[in-house]
Structure 1
Amino acid sequence: MNLKFSERANEIKASEIRELLKLTERPELISFAGGLPAPELFPVDNMKKIAYKVVEEQGKEALQYSTTEGYTPLRQTIVDQRLKPAGINVTVDNILITSGSQQALEFTAKLFIDKDDVIICESPSYLGAINAFKAYQPKFVEVPMDDDGMIIEELEKKLREYPNAKFIYTIPDFQNPTGKTLSVERRKRLADIAGQYEIPVVEDSPYAELIFEGNRYPTIKSFDNSGYVIHLGTYSKTFCPGLRIGWVCAHKDILQKYVLIKQGADLQCSTIDQRITAQFMKEYNLDEHISKIIEVYRNRRNIMIESMQKFFPSEVKYTLSKGGLFTWVELKKELNTKKILEEALEEKVAFVPGGSFFPNGGNENYFRLNYSNMSEEKIVEGIKRLGKVLSKYY
């Protein structure tokens, strides 16, 4: 076909994660690739009751159009149950419901990025965000990390070098892909930097409640005195990803721009899914559900780390995350994990090669492993298979 696509469309490439997720449909494959929650933990029976009740009692309203901002009782629930305990004191007027936080990332790109604009992110960073931003053709400036997350001194160097940068993107809690967490002091400083440099900080926070050790850190947004911090949240990792319920929490002036963008994109999120979610949160305790998730994921993380210690070559490095869904593996610099993945697939085990998490390329000697989705037995067997592949290179 002779079609004249836009320059933006021609720049879009397939997401490696989405392509790899297709592999999870192969029953013989042990996949550590996707960031998938454990399906056996979904509250299926309770959701049946709630869905029936919503249709029975609210059917006409649940099947009708609703406001772009989202179902008000759901927004209030997010404020009361998810944001206030995280130190974020806002009202429903600061909340927009989105189709997962991925839509919020796409809207963020559309809102801020013109071609060749500079955006600043951690190195490495979330592949889904990189892909959402890349469609708008920015220049990525990467800031290195250490065990306490993004190095703030390096960030300030970049801000002085690129004073017209449009925003800073960060995943402060159990970062995807590294599993690292930004320290409290750096969170405070980052909130101050947002106001000092008058630059938005986009705080992507899908994993913050999945804490295996210690207490939850305050959000960056909780230190925000200037209104420049935009907080993104979601129910996908703590409840049901298939509902696609996420949210943007921002200053009213910023949020109104997001609302206008959503009106042009899809008018609103699913009315019935919003009402089902709100009713579930009214009748059941999500914190109790999250506690069950944490217990399972902590055990699976421990089993994965123990298996890596047993089956991986001793020179291989990896992170011990204190929460979230991932561990990040570093191999010798000369190795290429895309090539190693081909061999791993022959052993019927999958992971995500690390190069795509670096927006400016390079660093092909890393890969990401997910421990939330596979059973304990499959984790042991999968790491054993992967260790067999890696042993050829050490």
Structure 2
Amino acid sequence: MPLSVLHVSMPVEAGVAAYVSAAAADQVRRGWRVTVAAPPYGPLRDRLAALGVTHLAWEAARSPGLSTVGEARALRRIVRGVDPDVVHLHSAKAGLVGRLVLRGRRPTVYQPHGWSWLACQGAMTRAAIAWERMAARWTAAVVCVGDGEAAAGRAHGLSARVVRNGVDLARFVPADEDDRLRARAALGLPEHVRLALCVGRVTRQKGQDTLLRAWPRVLGACPDALLVIVGDGELRAGLEDEAAAGVLFAGARSDVRPWYAACDVVVMPSRWEGLPLTALEAMACARPVVAFDVPGLREVVSEESGALVTAGDLDGLTHALAVRLLDPSLAWREGQLAALRSKEFDAGATMEALARLTAEVAGQG
């Protein structure tokens, strides 16, 4: 009998959605019976439909609350109907609801994609850590996407298996100067502007608020620079209202490859990360990455392929961006080295490792 896997995800866009759809597609190709339970909207639903993967509607809010009771009932019905060999829970909300529902009665994989307590403050941080410790007893395997994420778990007594994130190197390929000009023409961007790109949900985690505080200083050094923020999220409206000149909010995009091709440098001012697909995609497209030095990003970005800046250091962020915007040859050289580095993060190896772990959890390894 083919292995039956149920993936559960509340996020339906950005990196988690891309990961879930890639894992589902890989497992379908292996002949497994794969189902994804997720909210019935957004890019994830569309990707699954294009792949022919079964999608079941699971309405879920981002944060715990009164709706969690109904979410648990709905997920219990889905699990009973699918009757999977393995349930794979992605991110904090699915990890919470799924483990409360299953309580270890089925082989359960939990993949935080960034630990829940990193988004909390004060007593909520302690409560989130305590929950993760308690829920570990109901989890056959915790999967971290990078060594830094796993180390953060170990620091709080949580053991995890590392299956590093990977990038589809057949889809994300180095972009040359002709590609840059074509992408800018297609996107309606000026040909000669110096362009910094920030891709990701517009949230506290991704740090676009910090980047916008630094941007006027970047413009002071490089007046013809343009910052493009690709993505949507709960902070977008407020940040868009407050943004200074030289900033374009492009919204969420189903295909970010033209934006990587169009830019000179990618910036990631994240407060925390697991191991971000955005950085890997940018590097595979031969673009240097300027990032805050946090776990996950420091596993990917090196001084040869961009710059790591002390988290929250506006002067350091300004300098790192301005240097690359003012020196296209430096940005180009770093981009070429970034493309070479990205080959160490091939998605094929990631999915092979995940399949082995899933089969092992199901007792078929």
Give the TM-score normalised by structure 2: 0.35
Report which structure shows greater RCO (CA 8 Å, sep ≥6). Answer: 1
